Amino acid sequence: MHYAKVIVNPQARGGAAGKLWPVINLLLKNTGLTFDHEFIQEAGQGIEIARHAVEKGYNLVIAVGGDGTVNEVANGMIDENGKGMATLGFIGASTQNDIARMLNIPWDYIRACQIFEDFEKATIDIVVVDYTFHNQKARRYYLNTAGVGFVTDVIESSIPNFKLKAIGGSAPYVIGLMPRVMSLSNKDLMISIDGETHKERNFSLIVNNGRYLGGGRAFPNATPYDGLLDVAVLGDITKLEALLDFPFFYTGTNTNLSKIKMQQARTVTVDSIQKMPLQIDGELIGETPATFRVIPSALQVAVRNSPR
C-alpha cells in the first residue's frame, strides 16, 4: 500500500498549476491513492519538503509542476550515496515536461493522474554534477539535461518572459534562441570526456541522460537505462551555422553535423577562464567548473508502462 506525499508548485506555468490543483487533487483521490499534499512557496523548497517526506517514511513522492519542480523533489529523495529513498511520481503541469516525455508519462494531467490507479516502477539512471555556487563547491542531481554555453543563454532569455512560458511546449526556448544567436559569442572551454581533454572554442556543451532538450528531441538515441551520459559538444560555429545547423540538432533530425560532436561517456568535466552559468533540467543553478557523473539504476519512478 502506498501513502504518498504530493508536492505542488503552484507557480508552474505562470500560476496555472496552482489553479489546476483542486482538479488534480480530486483526480488523485478518485484513483484510490492515500496522500497528503504541500505547496512549494519559494525556489528550492521542494528539496526540503521531499527530504522530510522520505524521512517520515513516505514511500511515494509525487511532484506536480514542471521539470524544475521534479528536479527539486528528486534531489530531496536521494541519499548521500546517490540512491533514491522512495518512488518518484510526476504530474506535469508546466511548459516544459521533458522529464515526463523521457519516462513516457502523459503530458495530459488527467491521464498522468490515472497512472496512480495501478502503476509500475522503473529504475532509471541519474546524473550527479559537482559545480560552483557563490565561489563554493556544490552538488546537485538531475534526471534529463544539463549544459553550459549557448543553451544556458537561451534559458536566461526565456526565463523572464512569463507570457511565453504560459504558451507551453518548446516556444519559449525557440523564441529565446533568435536574439541570442545574433549576439553569439563562443567561449574557450576545457572539456574532459572520460579522461580525454580538449581545449577549444565552443558554442555549447550539453550533457544529457534523456532524449530531450527544451522541448526538442536533440538526443534521439539517449536512454536513462544504459548507465551512460549522452554528450554533445557544439564547436566553434558562426552565427549563420547556428541558424542553419542548430535546428537540425535540436530536433534530432541530423546528428552528423561537422561541428557538432556527439558521443557517450560516464564522466564529463568542463572548465573555462571566465565562470559560465550552468543549467540542469532547465533551471540555472551555478557556474563552472563542473563535473558530471552518471549513477546507474539510482532512482525508482512511477510509470504506466516501463518505457525501456
Measured between alpha carbons, how far is 91 from 4 in angstroms, rounded to an integer?
13
Q: Is residue 49 domain-shared with residue 148, that is, in the same domain?
A: no
pLDDT of 136 higher than 90: yes
Reading the block at residue 157, the C-alpha cell is: 532569455
Q: Give per-residue pLDDT as tens, 214-235.
A: 888 999 999 999 999 999 999 9
Same domain? 271 vs 131: yes
Question: 171-182 and 239-251 helices cross at what angle (nearest 10)?
Answer: 160
* The domain boundary residue, chosen from 118, 143, 166: 118
Alpha-carbon gap, residue 90 to 124, rounded angstroms: 14
- Are 73 and 140 members of one domain? no
82 in any annotated domain: yes
Gyration radius (Cα) of the chain, Å? 19
Same domain, 155 and 292: yes
Residues 6+ apart with CB under 8 A from 134: none
State the sign of the Cα–Cα–Cα–Cα dihedral 21, 100, 85, 265: negative
Angle at 224 between CA 220 and CA 227, to 5 degrees: 115
Nine cell digits for residue 44: 528550492
Split into its structural domains, the chain has a count of: 2
Q: 44 with 138, same domain?
A: no
pLDDT, tens digit (0-9, with 9 covering 90-100), for 75-134: 999 999 999 999 999 998 766 689 999 999 998 899 999 999 999 999 999 999 999 999
On whether residue 275 sits in a domain, the answer given is yes
Q: Does residue 289 contact residue 273 with C-beta atoms inside 8 Å? A: no
Claim to verify: residue 148 and residue 274 sit in the same structural domain: yes
**pLDDT grade, residue 166 (50/70/90)?**
very low
Q: Residue 280: pLDDT above 50?
A: yes
By CB atoms closer than 10 A (0-12, 13-18, 19+), residue 287 is buried
Instruction: Map the chain to HEC letters.
Output: CCEEEEEECCCCCCCHHHHHHHHHHHHHHHCCCEEEEEECCCCCHHHHHHHHHHHCCCCEEEEEECHHHHHHHHHHHECCCCCECCEEEEEECCCCCHHHHHCCCCCCHHHHHHHHHCCEEEEEEEEEEEEEECCEEEEEEECCEEEEEHHHHHHHHHCCCHHHHHHCCCHHHHHHHHHHHHCCCCEEEEEEECCEEEEEEECEEEEECCCCECCECCCCCCCCCCCCEEEEEECCCCHHHHHHHHHHHHHCCCCCCCCEEEEEECEEEEEECCCCEEEECCEEEEEEEEEEEEEEEEEEEEECCCCC
Which of 87, 118, 149 is a domain's end point? 118
Does residue 170 sit within a domain? Answer: yes
| Same-domain check for residues 29 and 144 | no
Whether this model's pTM surpasses 0.95: no
Is the same domain home to 134 and 63?
A: no
Domain assignment present for residue 177? The answer is: yes
- Higher-confidence residue: 43 or 130? 130
**90 is in which domain, residue-wise?**
3-118
Residue 17 confidence (pLDDT):
85
Q: How far is CA 197 from the centre of its chain?
A: 26
Q: What is the CATH number of the domain that holds 60?
A: 3.40.50.10330
The verdict on 61 and 186 lying in the same domain is no
Task: Reply yes or no on whether the pLDDT at 178 is more than 90.
Answer: no
More confident residue, 12 or 222: 222
- Tell me, yes or no, whether 144 and 283 share the same domain: yes
Residue % of the chain over a pLDDT of 90: 67
